[in-house]
Amino acid sequence: MTAEQNTVHNEELSVVDSLITESSTTQDEVARMCAGMILDGQLAVLQRQLHADFLKIPTSFQLPPNYTGLDASKPWLIYWPLHALEILDPDNQTDDILSRIGPSIMACLNELEGAFGGGNGQTAHLAATYASLNALAISRDEQVWSQINREGLYKWLMSVKLPDGGFSMHIGGEEDVRAVYCALASAALLNIITPELTEGTAEWISRCQTYEGGIGGAPGNEAHGGYAFCGLAALCILGNPVEMIPKYLDVDSFVHWLSARQYQPEGGFSGRTNKLVDGCYSWWVGGCWSILEGVLPWITSKDVLWSKADLQKYILYCCQSPRGGLRDKPGKSSDFYHSCYVLSGLSEVQHRYSFRPKLRESKSGEWSFMWTYELESPDIVIIDEQNVVGPLNPVHVLPAGVGERMHDFYAALGTLEL
Ligand SMILES: CC(C)=CCC/C(C)=C/CC/C(C)=C/COP(=O)(O)OP(=O)(O)O
Ligand SMILES: [Zn+2]
């Protein structure tokens, strides 16, 4: 598309956007809207520069006023755009941006508790700790890595571990499968996984699988894509995924539920039964597919369970905001959260991941980093070569190689007495 065509098209899309409001959107309207955009096909090209410009807003550390509601999410506001920028194009990460991550994240460390909060002086929280460590992994800042008190962080993780095997998001906070994932992913990056930390946790995740086949936030809760990813990825950190997934999940019903998440004609995924498609599930649900395809390829290859080409169409034609950034669906504004997970979904459909069941050399011997990838064949998903984004680590949701490097840094420091 030429720049001129693009401008005209963006104007058309703005009109369309203004016709749809969140409150009145029904499944039929979304389906019609998306079908029109897919047939129209004008947004077949990933608007790299437009998205990069949008994503670079927070790197000035001057967030627009409408971000005040996210005051407790500062580490996320650093991790989301940085991850998205890097898979869009590694050259987006300038030394200037990378060198400012460390001090900004370390300002969120609650030194009394030993883990990260959502902002300066805030209570230590598992979601903030996960986002902080992911952002620090992207920084490649070994000087900052060496300042992290891993014993202190381990003690805090043990303080949010619950007797039933689960974790709570903060001391006295809610117990859910997000907490399990955030705790284990953080511990894996820091190489501080111990048998005490993981005791009973796989069994607890198993209790979150519902009658539908998906995974709910806690035992007895409705299955949801976000929690499904957290549960599945956590199992991959707890042991060899090839053994853990079939041992703790009913894989057939999980795959059945996952397959039902893709809608036609949109091609995008919903997060749960009878809800609308949303671009962020391109990752939460798509990430489950990448893990399953990588770990149990004999299961996912036996039938056509979902269409990679159709998901890619939903992402490109319906989730690119003409104003830059990625979004839930036509009519919604873009934001950093959706940019991160929609682009991760795009990366996921474009790459075929494989998991090699071989222990990494480390004290804890976790498995989560043994991922390799290759580009999917163009006739399956690559609508245009210009649309290719970089590969990921599908368990940590980090650009490929980034989490591995942080883990190896700590592994090389030798055994920690925990
Ligand atoms: C690592 C980490 C913190 C992961 C978070 C995972 C995640 C996205 C969980 C989703 C939680 C949830 C029930 C959303 C439903 O929202 P909704 O009712 O607005 O959306 P819906 O209609 O699509 O279900
Ligand atoms: Zn969403």
Q: pLDDT tens-digit profile of 154-206?
A: 999 999 999 999 999 999 999 999 999 999 999 999 999 999 999 999 999 99
pLDDT band for position 357 (cuts 50, 70, 90): confident
Does 310 participate in catalysis according to the annotation? no
Q: Which of 43-57, 125-139, 215-229 has the lowest mean pLDDT?
A: 43-57
- pLDDT at res. 9: 47
Assess whether the C-beta atom of 351 lies below 6 angstroms from ligand 1: no
The minimum-distance atom of ligand 1 relative to the CA of 275 is 22
pLDDT band for position 72 (cuts 50, 70, 90): confident
Does 335 participate in catalysis according to the annotation? yes
Q: What is the mean pLDDT of residues 210-218?
A: 98
Return the H-helix or E-strand segment holding 225: helix 225-238
Beta partners for 351?
Answer: 375
Q: Report the percent of the chain where pLDDT is more than 90.
A: 73
Higher pLDDT, 145 or 300: 145
- pTM over cut 0.90: yes
- 369 vs 86: CA distance, rounded Å: 19
Does 281 participate in catalysis according to the annotation? yes
Does 308 participate in catalysis according to the annotation? no
Q: Which ligand is nearest to the CA of 328?
A: 2
Listed residues: CB within 5 A of ion ligand 2: 278, 280, 328
Assess whether the C-beta atom of 332 lies below 6 angstroms from ligand 1: no
Q: Residues 17, 141, 176, 278: which is the catalytic one? A: 278
Q: Residues 74, 272, 332, 396: which is the catalytic one? A: 272
Higher pLDDT, 265 or 38: 265
- Distance (angstroms) between ligand 2 centre and the Cα of 174 equals 22
- 85 vs 406: CA distance, rounded Å: 19
Q: Is the pLDDT of residue 34 over 60?
A: yes
Return the H-helix or E-strand segment holding 66: none
The minimum-distance atom of ligand 1 relative to the CA of 397 is 1
The whole-chain average pLDDT of the chain stands at 89
Q: Residues 17, 141, 310, 328: which is the catalytic one? A: 328
Q: What is the pLDDT of residues 366-388, one digit of tens each?
A: 677 788 999 999 888 888 888 99
Query: 163, exposed or middle or buried, with CB in 10 Å at 0-12, 13-18, 19+?
Result: exposed
CA neighbor of 405 nearest in space, from 92, 238, 130, 191: 191
Domains plus CATH for the chain? 32-39+48-61+70-412 (1.50.10.20)
Higher pLDDT, 72 or 279: 279
Higher pLDDT, 62 or 97: 97
Q: Is the pLDDT of residue 8 over 50?
A: no
- pLDDT at res. 366: 65
Q: Which ligand is nearest to the CA of 75?
A: 1
- pLDDT at res. 7: 46
Beta partners for 372?
Answer: 354
Cβ 359 vs Cβ 282: under 8 Å: no
Q: What is the pLDDT of residues 125-151, one digit of tens each?
A: 999 999 999 999 999 999 999 999 999
Q: Which of 54-68, 244-258, 279-293 has the lowest mean pLDDT?
A: 54-68
pLDDT band for position 20 (cuts 50, 70, 90): very low
Q: What is the pLDDT of residues 387-403, one digit of tens each?
A: 999 999 999 999 999 99
pLDDT band for position 362 (cuts 50, 70, 90): low
Beta partners for 109?
Answer: 116
Place of tokens 């190489």: 191
- Distance (angstroms) between ligand 1 centre and the Cα of 379 equals 32
